[in-house]
Every structure is written in structure tokens, then in C-alpha cells.
Amino acid sequence: MADRRSPIRRSDGALPDSARRDLLRVLGVGAAGASLGGFGLLAACSSDEGSVSTEASSTTLAATTTTRVIPPYDRDKPYWVQGNFLGVTKEETVTDLKVTGTIPKELSGTFVRNGSNSTDETALHWFLGDGMVHGVRLDQGKATWYRNRYIDTPIHRAGKSVLNFGGVPGKENGQSNVALVHHAGKLLATGEVSWPYELSVDDLSTIGAWNFDGRLGDTMTAHPKIDPATGRMHFFGYGILQPGITYYAADPDGKIDVTSTIPFDVPLMVHDFAITESDVVFWIGPVVFGSSPETMYPKVPFHWDPDGPSKVGVMPLDGDASQIRWVDIPPQFVFHGLNAHRDGDDVVLHVHRLEEAFGKRGDLVDSFLTQWRIGTGGSSLTFSDDRVSQIPMDLPAHDRRFTGRETRHGWCATTVPPDSEYGFELAGVCHIDTKTGAEDNWKPDDDTRAGEVVFVPASDGAAEGEGWVMTYVWNRGTGLSSLAVFDAQDLKSGPVGTVELPVRVPFGFHGLWIPEA
């Protein structure tokens, strides 16, 4: 696992003292934080500085549409403090929502999406805002409510950022601002390097941090995978001061019964992974923790190291870290995978590949859907790749009834480049058939912007990809948003139904559909 510029790991798995001090400095933790293992400042920070409460929720009984002037895009400011990236400041509860078109009656449940809600124009990056969920309740073709709620973490209550709150991120010290998972009766908001937070399905309020009854280590990342055949949830967390991945699996009742740690030589950002019906697949790219003056964002605490490790590892599902096998791949970075499956001795994945991330071009590097094929039949793994689409896109969705199995349908958010009139933005939605390569692309006008979609099957027995996709859509002219529902096999025709919202839903990350019980 060693690479040319990796520090030598101590026998206890921790970073050498010099590297540890440098990393703590970047994360805003002094000697006291180091002596407390990075987490001892949590209790003090929770009570110091006073408590900053969220604004009182308001209730709006009917949607109204207004027109507002959008300030011109300022290329001297970061993209995440402008337009629909900028967060909202109020928690709202809205009822009596107007529906345009038809919401399919079989869609009874709650659509909810998580995201980083940064309202501070001095924020170091879009990824570092407080978590906020936005949800819409659908019932037999009607929309009964919209709610947005902050994830009620100690960092949010303190009114600080994750970098100046105190302590290395982990345990309760996180923002839970990335994704959501519903498993064993719990709705969990997940982040990058902390415990998840349990939310109420009824009103999206925060119940509290969840550590799986003490079985979870310091961190859990954002993208758990639920095996549709077994109901088991597979996930991992990665360490910063103790570099590496800890792989977990939980039974259908939510009890962790597999824990296994894979050590690294350097602290790496590892955002996603994949499973098949028999494998766990990890990929690592050379985005390492620590700032660098050579990057577009010199204060952000992670950066591209062209000499860092770039590998894919395969191990048995529910297996032990000692069983993982690695293969080197060309330097690249992958935030998200679409899905993975077994094909004989090969593991086949569809991932969104970037040439680099958080280097001299920052994070605005085009992401292209790419097929990876990992040969596992020989004494060493083999690797090959093939670009599937020429459209820049990311934030993929698939039919989760087939997670870890061969699927042909994927839906991804398209993007526009930084030199566009309003800079980098999420744009439309593309449906891609991975067998034929056919693409069905919803291309909205320049004043209409969407995001990640969530797929919902038409029925429990529907064929793979037969159903609906939904996403929040923002209108630049009114400054307001809506929830749009599309026929998953016919995006070009536009939404079949829209729930009009009297609020703006900022761009976010990942969502979930929770069907009515």
C-alpha cells in the first residue's frame, strides 16, 4: 500500500508525530486537541460560546409565486456563495401545496434530500456547511407538506464550522450533511467523517447521534449499501489521525456484526464504495488530508497529491480485511459509483471518474461515467476501464432493488462548466442505458436547474428501471423551487407532475424515498 511520499506508519497504526502535528494544525486543533486524541474538546465546545438556536419554524398555508432579480454571477467569488448554492436561513413547514400536472397515486411516502447548507459567504467550501434536509410528503396524488430542518448537531448549535469547532471530526463532531439511509426502522442522516444522526420520519426533526449501540467506531461515511437479498447494510468509516478504512456490516435489525480495519499509510478521502452479491469494492485516489498552497483552495484541509496512492481493492462481502486484494490504477478520483455486479471472475462497476480533484483546478473537473472491470480470477487482480458517456455528470441513482446486481438503467445529474453565464451549476438529468449506451437527457433552459434524482419503482414487482424519478428543481426567475416527478424511461418529455414550493431549495447532495408503511 505504500506510495513514494507516504510517511511510514507507526507500529500502532497512527501517523508519525510530525505528520500528526501538521494535520492537527490544518484542522485547527492545537496541542490540547492532540493530547486528547482529537475528540476530547467536544464536551467543552458544546457548552462554550453560548448556544445558537435555529430560527423558529414557520407555517405557510398556501404557495405564492413571486419574481425576484438574481444578482449577476461574480467570478471573483466562490461558486458556493452564489445562486442556488447559497444556503437558506429559515426552517419552514408548508402545507396545502399546489400540484401541477399529475403526481402518480402510487407515490405515497416521503421524498427527502440532504445537503450542505452554508449561509456564510466566508465558507471555505460547499462541502463544509451544516446539514439540512428538505422533504415533501406525497399522499395519493397530493402533496401534504414540505419541511426543511437543520441536522441538530453540536457544531450547528455552536454556530461554528467543522474546522473551528474544536477537535478532529468524528463521533458527534460532524455535520451529517451528505446523504440519508433508511434501515432497521431508522432514518439516518450521514456525513463524511462522523456518526450519523437519526431523524424523525414524521417531521424530519433530529432525534440524536446514533452509534449503533456503541458498536460503531469514530466515523461512518455517507454511502451505505443495503443488500436487497439479505437486508444487511454494508458501510465503512475512515480515519484521519489513524489512517485507514473500517468496514462494517449490520444485520436487518441494525446490529453491527462485522468490523474489520484496513490500514493506510496516509489519511485519504474515501467517499464511496460498492458491493456485489459476494464482494466489497473500495477505491482510493490521491486526495489526502492536509492543505496545500499549490491548489485552487489552499485553505481547504484536503488536496490532490499526484504521487499519492490510486488503487481498487476487492474483498469478500462480510469478510475480513486480511482478505482484500488491491490493484494499482492510473491516478484519478471517484466521488460516486452508480452500481456494481459480478460477471464470472470479473467485478464490473460504473463510476464517475475525474482526472483529479482538489488540485490546481479545484473540484470543478468534469466527471464522466466510466466502466471499470476488475479481473479476480488470477493470482493478481487486473484492471481495465472504458468511458461510457461523453456528458459531464455525477450524483448517480439506480434502482436500489438491484444494488450489487447487474443493472442497465442509471440516472445522473448533468452539470454546466465554470465558464457558463452563471458559473458551475447542476443542470438537468440524464438517463443512460449501460447496455446500449442510449441516453435520454432532460435539458432544461438556463434558468431552470435540477440535481440528483431518486428512483422509485412503479410497484414492488416492476421491471428494473420501470417507475419514476424525482428531484428538486430551482427556477432562477422566481427564486423558488419545486419537486418534479418524471417517468423514469421518458425524461425528455419533462415532468409528469410538479409540486410547487413557496421556498427555495438550495442545491444539495443525496436523497431518499421512504414509502408509506
Per the CB < 8 A criterion, the answer to whether 73 and 422 are in contact is yes
C-alpha dihedral over 476, 478, 480, 483, to 10 degrees? -80
In the DSSP assignment, the letter for residue 369 is E
Least confident of 77-86, 130-139, 145-154, 160-169: 160-169
DSSP β-bridge partners for residue 150: 132
**Sheet containing 273-275: order of strands:** 273-275, 279-284, 311-316, 325-328
Residues 6+ positions from 186 with CB-CB distance below 8 Å: 198, 210, 254
As a whole number of angstroms, the distance between CA 400 and CA 515 comes to 13
The x, y and z cell numbers of residue 49, run together, are: 460560546
Task: Give 430-491 as a DSSP string.
Answer: EEEETTT--EEEE---TTEE----EEEESSTTPPTT-EEEEEEEEETTT--EEEEEEETT--
Least confident stretch, 15-29, 223-237, 250-264, 386-400: 15-29
Length of the chain: 517
Q: Which residue(s) pair with 209 in the sheet?
A: 197
The topology under which CATH files domain 17-52+68-97+105-515 is Neuraminidase (2.120.10)
Number of neighbours of residue 228 by Cβ within 10 angstroms: 15
Residue pLDDT, tens place only, 189-228: 999 999 999 999 999 999 999 999 999 999 999 999 999 9
Segment 363-378 mean pLDDT: 96
What is the reported pLDDT for 31?
Answer: 36
Closest CA to 341 of 376, 309, 303: 376
pLDDT mean over 54-81:
64
* Rounded-to-integer distance, Cα 496 and Cα 490, Å: 10
Q: Is the pLDDT of residue 471 over 90?
A: yes
What does the pLDDT read at residue 122? 83
Closest CA to 462 of 214, 107, 139: 107
Q: Contacts from 22-26 at CB under 8 Å and sequence distance 24+?
A: 22/290, 23/240, 23/241, 23/267, 23/289, 23/290, 24/168, 24/241, 26/289, 26/290, 26/291, 26/301
pLDDT of residue 94: 97
Q: pLDDT: is 24 or 179 the higher one?
A: 179
pLDDT at 307: 93
pLDDT, one tens digit per residue, over 101-115 is 999 999 999 999 999
Enumerate residues 6+ apart whose C-beta is below 8 A from 157: 46, 51, 52, 53
Taking the C-alpha atoms of residue 504 and residue 87, their distance in angstroms, rounded to an integer, is: 9
pLDDT digits (tens, 9 = 90+) for 20-48: 555 555 454 443 333 323 322 223 333 33
Q: What pLDDT shows up at residue 240?
A: 87
CB 438 within 8 A of CB 432: yes
- The answer to whether the CB of 359 falls within 8 A of the CB of 331 is no
pTM, full prediction: 0.89
Question: Taking the CB of residue 331, how many other CB atoms lie within 10 A of it?
Answer: 16
Indicate if the pLDDT at residue 313 is higher than 80: yes
Q: Which three cell numbers stand for residue 260?
A: 474489520
State residue 155's pLDDT score: 92
Q: Is the confidence at residue 451, as pLDDT, over 60?
A: yes
Contacts of 496 (CB under 8 A, 6+ apart): 101, 102, 103, 104, 468, 485, 486, 487
pLDDT of amino acid 454: 98
Q: What are phi and psi of 47, to 5 degrees?
A: -105, -20
Q: What's the rounded mean pLDDT across residues 388-405?
A: 98
pLDDT of residue 27: 52
Least confident of 16-30, 170-184, 497-511: 16-30
Compute the CA torsion angle 159, 501, 400, 510 (nearest 10 deg). Answer: -30
Which tens digits make up the pLDDT trace of 255-299? 999 999 999 999 999 999 999 999 999 999 999 998 899 899 998
**pLDDT tens digits, 352-361:** 999 999 999 9
- Spell out the residues 6+ positions from residue 514 whose beta carbon is closer than 8 angstroms to its own: 109, 110, 112, 182, 187, 201
User: Could you state, in order of their start, the residue ranges of all structural domains in the chain?
Assistant: 17-52+68-97+105-515
Average pLDDT over the chain, rounded to an integer: 88
pLDDT in tens, 95-153: 989 999 999 999 999 999 999 998 888 888 999 999 999 999 999 999 999 999 999 99
The per-residue pLDDT for 40 is 28
Q: Residue 242 is placed in which grid cell?
A: 489513524
